[in-house]
Amino acid sequence: MATLDTLLPQLQSVVDAGNIEEGKKLLGKIKVAILSAPSGSETKAATALELGVLLSVADGDLTSLSRNMALLMPYYTAGIETPQKNHVLGLHLMHLLVEHQLSEFHSLLEVISEEDAGSPFISFPIGIERQMMVGMYDEVLARDIPHPSYQFFLDHLQQTVRDSIADGIEVGYQSLALSDAAKMMKFNSVNELSAYIQEFRDDWIVEGDRLTFQPATTTLQASDIAAKEWIKQSLQYATELERII
């Protein structure tokens, strides 16, 4: 029966090679091997699960990412230290931010040491969250992405922003030119907006070069004015986020 000692180097090799499918197969075997691993193997087990997190990100699988983090966190709570710890915790923070799990985000920050919080891997998601809360983005714009794996979450965050702006647009407007909607949602072309509409907003009515969101007889309400202010704030956020990406 394969052991953690023999499987871990194999997993590291396939992760380094970017072989996601083979990595997932090995990870399944490793999770079984962890159950029978002798005492003192905790660091190796944590390292294997960290590789599982990286595989999940590379695979774009947020569900498996959550599962792997759930298995990994008890090791971190027990004080296990690994070279990849801050990287993995940073990715977890990005995931929580993308999923709007802000209470979990702040709970995790409470158990991260001040020294670790200062690492680029963790300070990056902290910076994004703070700037989102206060509406200022200077600190975020001054930082480089600490690792290419973070791009996956930034892409998701951009999508989240577009969805939020779309929600506000259809409340705040009866009709809008396609070109204006594309600009507001930070698309590079009307064609990109059209693809978005087909996939995510099939209830939007496209008539020539305009979008219609609600019957023309509907009058503007006070709540619509508030929605427009909210759209303005979302657009500012989207613009700054686009610069980060």
pLDDT in tens, 54-88: 999 999 999 999 999 999 999 999 999 999 999 99
Q: Is the pLDDT of residue 179 over 90?
A: yes
CA distances from 152 to 89, 117, 225, 240 (A): 15, 21, 34, 17
Highest mean pLDDT among 20-34, 161-175, 207-221: 20-34
- For residue 164, the model assigns a pLDDT of 76
- For residue 1, the model assigns a pLDDT of 64
pLDDT digits (tens, 9 = 90+) for 80-99: 999 999 999 999 999 999 88
Q: Give rounded-to-5 percent helix, strand, coil for the chain.
A: 70, 5, 25
pLDDT digits (tens, 9 = 90+) for 202-242: 899 999 999 998 654 444 454 444 555 555 555 565 555 55
- For residue 74, the model assigns a pLDDT of 96
The proportion of the chain whose per-residue pLDDT surpasses 90, expressed as a percent, equals 63
Pick the residue with more confidence: 216 or 19?
A: 19
Paired tokens of 142:
């001054």
Listing DSSP states for 60-89 in one string gives T-HHHHHHHHHHHHHHHHTT---TTHHHHH
- For residue 204, the model assigns a pLDDT of 93
Which region, left, alpha or beta, applies to residue 151 given φ > 0 means left and ψ of -120 to 50 means alpha? alpha
Ordered structural domains, the chain, with CATH: 1-83 (no CATH), 84-146 (no CATH), 151-244 (1.10.10)
Q: How far apart are CA 70 and CA 3, in angstroms?
A: 22
- For residue 161, the model assigns a pLDDT of 72
CB 49 within 8 A of CB 71: yes
- Interval 186-207 mean pLDDT: 92
- For residue 226, the model assigns a pLDDT of 52
Q: Is the pLDDT of residue 8 over 70?
A: yes
- Interval 173-195 mean pLDDT: 91
- For residue 141, the model assigns a pLDDT of 45
Q: Is the pLDDT of residue 3 over 60?
A: yes
- For residue 116, the model assigns a pLDDT of 94
Q: How far apart are CA 228 and CA 172, in angstroms?
A: 6
Q: What is the mean pLDDT of the chain?
A: 85
